Amino acid sequence: MKALLLAAGFGTRLLPLTSTTPKCLVPIGGKPLLQHWLESLAASCQFEEVIINTHYLAEKVDQFFSSYAPPIDIDLSYESKLLGPGGTLLRHRDQLASGDFLVAHADNFSLISWQEFLDAYHSRPDHCVGLMMTFESDDPSSCGIVQTDAQGIVTAMHEKVQSPPGRLANAATFLFSPKVFEIIDRLDPATVFDISQDIIPSLCGHLATYENTSYHRDIGTLKALSQAREDHGRMS
């Protein structure tokens, strides 16, 4: 199975830290977030190649890999113009659509049981083209909040709204069947920039969920980063 790690964003909410460091290289426990993801994916023995898109401070990512030998095959894909997660997904359609695949934001910090996640994917209802990882957020207004039916199928998304209708949040980690592109093809490509805001609403009713009860934190603010570092230190 192939994976797409999204690592091109500006990380503006982590300024001034990200003025010189891309968000995917911000360290937790002495390791960049990107390294945590690669080591986790490699340890699962479920993924054969990881595509990593870059844009902002891409040269810093190149420098990182000049001194770090990843434990899994990678394909660095530079974007001269930021395509957004949705645009990046479409750009790599031919590489990904040969089988089931993973898409994840590499600037989150997550402890994942990949076997559980994959088992949930393979046992999803037949009409679902993918599986969204979710988590219970302690700051739901800063996240995309998910509503589901009794089967755990996504019925609505509420992206960073005040007074959201719950705490179950989108972890921005997905397993998809190639059939997801049949639904994406109904959209205007010019409008597909973000996965959560531009694609997920079209997948409502066709996207199952799996709740990560181990650990997940959206590193969206300096406060969240500080909390993740504290949590990592406590768990180590």
* 10-residue averages of pLDDT along the chain (236 residues): 96 92 96 97 95 97 96 97 94 95 95 95 97 92 90 92 88 97 91 90 96 93 93 90
In this structure, the dihedral spanned by the alpha carbons of residues 111, 27, 90 and 114, taken in order and rounded to 10 degrees, is -20
Residue at 79: amino acid letter:
E
- Residue 67 is predicted with a pLDDT of 96
Question: Rounded to the nearest 5°, which phi and psi values hold at 15?
Answer: -60, 145
Residue at 24: amino acid letter:
C
DSSP E strand stretches across 82-143: 101-105, 108-111, 130-136
* Ramachandran sector of residue 166 (left: φ over 0; alpha: ψ -120 to 50; beta: rest): left
Q: List the Cα angle 84/88/89 in 5-degree steps.
A: 120
For residues 34 and 137, give the distance between their C-alpha atoms in angstroms, rounded to a whole number.
22
- Residue 178 is predicted with a pLDDT of 97
Q: Are 53 and 7 in contact (CB under 8 A)?
A: yes
- Tell me the CATH number for domain 2-127+172-203+215-235: 3.90.550.10
Identify the CA nearest to 76 among candidates 97, 107, 39, 50.
Answer: 50
* DSSP code of residue 64: H
- Residue 138 is predicted with a pLDDT of 86
- Residue 69 is predicted with a pLDDT of 95
Q: Are 169 and 136 in contact (CB under 8 A)?
A: yes
For residues 155 and 20, give the distance between their C-alpha atoms in angstroms, rounded to a whole number.
40
Tokens of 95: 């590489």
The total of other beta-carbon atoms located within 10 Å of residue 42's CB is 15
- Residue 191 is predicted with a pLDDT of 87
Cα 61 to Cα 15, 74, 158, 212, distances in angstroms: 18, 12, 32, 28
For residues 115 and 112, give the distance between their C-alpha atoms in angstroms, rounded to a whole number.
9
Q: What is the pTM of this model?
A: 0.94
